[in-house]
């Protein structure tokens, strides 16, 4: 079970990764697109958890690039944008979209559903 977490907020994503590791997941994290793509090229991940809005490229564009590297990988989006419109748009691109801040149990539940679907 390997997760790739991508968000430009380093403190957020590194701590989220550490908490997921405490729950038994192998979780790598990246704060830039280049790093995320390099990791996706070097490791086969089951799920990518991506921030929707980051500098340089949107999470949706990053999703397309990761999909080309790892066909079949599943995606969960996370976002600080709480509008219904943003939420609906992003939900069409992934298993789900979780609004920040969230309880880790909500993410874990989505990860487990994705793996069992």
User: Which residue ranges make up the site for other proteins (CB under 8 A)?
Assistant: 8-9, 11-12, 15-16, 18-19, 22, 53-56, 80-83, 99-102, 104
Nearer to other proteins, 73 or 96 (CB): 96
Nearer to other proteins, 26 or 53 (CB): 53
Nearer to other proteins, 33 or 75 (CB): 33
What CA dihedral angle connects 94, 97, 102 and 104, to 10 degrees? -20
**Both ends of the chain: CA-CA distance in Å?**
14
CB of 79 to other proteins, least distance (A): 8
Whether the bond between 57 and the residue before it is cis, its omega within 30 degrees of 0, is no
């Amino acid at each position: 079970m390997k997760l790739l977490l991508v968000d430009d907020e380093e403190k957020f994503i590194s701590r989220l990764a550490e908490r997921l590791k405490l729950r038994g997941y192998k979780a790598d994290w990246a704060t830039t697109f280049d790093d995320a793509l390099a990791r996706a090229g070097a490791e086969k991940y089951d799920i990518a958890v991506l921030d929707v809005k980051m500098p340089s490229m949107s999470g949706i564009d990053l999703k397309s690039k990761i999909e080309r590297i790892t066909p079949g990988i599943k995606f969960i989006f996370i976002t600080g944008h709480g509008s219904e419109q943003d939420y609906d748009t992003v939900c069409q691109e992934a298993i789900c979209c979780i609004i920040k801040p969230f309880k880790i149990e909500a993410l874990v539940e989505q990860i487990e559903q994705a793996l069992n679907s």
